[in-house]
């Protein structure tokens, strides 16, 4: 599965035109490169578990804890392996109690066939968000990350993501970060390529740290 090069070119031109503040980032950052994972049930489950682990912690902390969990499960995170671990084992790996509960809930939903991860690719963005949000502890942000990085959907605007909002603040040279509600409305200008705009907002943070913008 891949996003066509033509779609990326058209999307980048659209974002430059509709959100000109991102143009300096687009010109200096690496070209938009979102290669979605193969949307099979096994990969989808592991990706969702790792997204849950990553919620509200730094990238480095998420990578460390995710590595521990993968090592504990001998490389592959599956519903059965999850159910074989105790809550205490997850805590010892650095996973909070609430996140462990979410992971257990997801594993149970998959094994009991209350959710069919292999069918998500055929659903609309809104349907997928609704389906995943039905699992305790999985919210809109986790579903949006899945839509972007696993399914390659190009019109996702994760207004609740701190990094995207921070990048927007940087490129627009605003003194305060926009509220999530206002930010959600601002993103409409980038439709139907809001994922590209969000991706460059993340890159804006990297460039700002180096003084490039």
Across all residues in the chain, what is the average pLDDT?
Answer: 94
Percent of the chain with pLDDT over 90: 89
Reading the block at residue 192, the tokens are: 């139907």
Per-residue pLDDT for 2 more than 90? no
| pLDDT the model gives residue 53 | 96
Question: Once rounded to an integer, what is the mean pLDDT over residues 125-145?
Answer: 95
Q: Which residues contact 7 (CB under 8 A, 6 or more apart)?
A: 154
| Rounded-to-integer distance, Cα 113 and Cα 128, Å | 16
Per-residue pLDDT for 68 more than 90? yes
| Rounded-to-integer distance, Cα 114 and Cα 165, Å | 34
Per-residue pLDDT for 37 more than 90? no
| pTM of the predicted protein model | 0.90
Closest to 201 measured CA to CA, from 4, 32, 3: 32
Asked if 38 and 118 touch (Cβ cutoff 8 Å), the reply is: no
């Amino acid at each position: 599965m891949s996003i066509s090069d033509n779609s990326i070119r058209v999307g980048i031109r659209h974002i430059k035109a509709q959100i000109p503040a991102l143009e300096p980032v687009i010109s200096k950052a690496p070209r938009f490169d979102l290669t979605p994972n193969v949307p099979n049930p096994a990969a989808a489950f592991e990706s969702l578990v790792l997204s849950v682990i990553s919620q509200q912690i730094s990238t480095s902390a998420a990578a460390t804890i995710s590595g521990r969990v993968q090592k504990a499960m001998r490389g592959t995170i599956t519903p059965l392996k999850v159910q074989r671990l105790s809550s205490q084992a997850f805590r010892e790996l650095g996973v909070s109690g609430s996140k462990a509960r979410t992971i257990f809930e997801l594993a149970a939903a998959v094994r009991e066939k209350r959710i069919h991860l292999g069918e998500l690719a055929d659903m609309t963005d809104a349907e997928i968000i609704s389906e995943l949000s039905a699992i305790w502890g999985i919210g809109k942000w986790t579903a949006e990350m899945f839509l972007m990085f696993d399914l390659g959907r190009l019109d996702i605007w994760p207004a609740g993501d701190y990094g995207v909002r921070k990048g927007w603040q940087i490129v627009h040279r605003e003194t305060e970060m926009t509220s999530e509600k206002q930010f959600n409305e601002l993103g409409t200008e980038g439709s139907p390529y809001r994922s590209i705009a969000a991706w460059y907002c993340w890159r804006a943070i990297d460039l700002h740290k180096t003084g490039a913008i």
